[in-house]
Amino acid sequence: MEAAALPWTEQERKTLPRHVAIIMDGNGRWAEIQGKHRWEGHAYGAKSVRDVVTAAREAGIEALTLYAFSVQNWGRPHFEVEKLMALLLDYLVEEQQTILDNGIRLQGIGQIDRLPPGVREQLRTLEEASAECRDMVLTLALSYGSREEIVAACQQIAKDAAAGRIPPEHIDEALLDRYMLTRDLPPLDLLIRTSGEMRLSNFLLWQAAYAELVVTDVLWPDFDRDHLYQCMDVFRGRQRRFGKTGAQVSNQET
């Protein structure tokens, strides 16, 4: 894919995040401001998804993870949930060719069994069709909850330990990582939230331990390629210390 329009030099691109996740928030407020129905905010939000996926791929991001629907979102009005599921299905159908043409592997994480059969089937179709794509992983968190993910991981670890497959003393951070739904992804570097809310909302709680957080006031339907690149520039300006001192990190001391 042509990357000519990128705002970074080849050298600067090496300092970009490998894995970016986004809490796509503010669709409802955007619709309200425009005098539209909430679901129209989601429809415009789906357009932002298309733009941001393309922009992330062009920037050479390895993994993009989008919070599209939480476990808790099932509690929204039936009409809104139906509209969201319809938008999701449209996205999976309409973007299939673009996703494949751009070497993107698509996967869903979350309680996928709870999705309507049509969405589930299209998701599986695209997961299988894109399984060998290597240029970027696009993960859609669907009916996803981080606490639910952690509980499920603990249950599986307990079962494996009880069956003698893992000695309890082998349970460490690396092992827990392998029981998370994000096990195939690089560590999370940058977590963006749109619409100014300062919350994680049950998204990637384990994975975000050392991620850089960037909250922008831009509402998701207005969020575009330039906004994504601005957030990535904020990331580039941060010093990641991982518990060390600033001096240790800048001097590369151990």
Binding site for ligand FPP (CB under 6 A): 24-29, 42, 45-46, 49, 66, 68, 73, 84, 87-88, 91, 140, 195, 220
Give the nearest distance from C-beta 190 to ligand FPP in angstroms: 18
Q: Which is nearer to ligand FPP, 29 or 236 (CB)?
A: 29
The yes-or-no answer on residue 135 being catalytic is no
| C-alpha closest to that of 141 among 114, 111, 116, 119 | 111
Q: Using CB positions, name the residue nearest to ligand FPP.
A: 28
Which of these is catalytic: 25, 27, 189, 202? 25
List, in sequence order, every beta strand (DSSP E) within 78-222. 104-109, 136-144, 190-193, 212-215
Q: Which is nearer to ligand FPP, 140 or 180 (CB)?
A: 140
Any idea what DSSP says for residue 6? -
| Distance, CA of 181 to CA of 113 (rounded, Å) | 14
**CB-hemisphere CA count at 13 Å for 213?**
15
Give the nearest distance from C-beta 27 to ligand FPP in angstroms: 4
> What six digits make up the tokens of 192?
């963006």
Which of these is catalytic: 51, 73, 160, 233? 73
Torsion of the alpha carbons at 105, 65, 231 and 99, rounded to the nearest 10:
30
User: Which residues share a beta bridge with 136?
Assistant: 104
Give the nearest distance from C-beta 7 to ligand FPP in angstroms: 25
Give the nearest distance from C-beta 195 to ligand FPP in angstroms: 6
The yes-or-no answer on residue 25 being catalytic is yes
Q: Which is nearer to ligand FPP, 179 or 220 (CB)?
A: 220
Q: Which is nearer to ligand FPP, 68 or 109 (CB)?
A: 68
**What's the distance, Cα to Cα, between the start and end of the chain in Å?**
39
Q: Give the residue numbers annotated as catalytic, written as ranges.
A: 25, 73
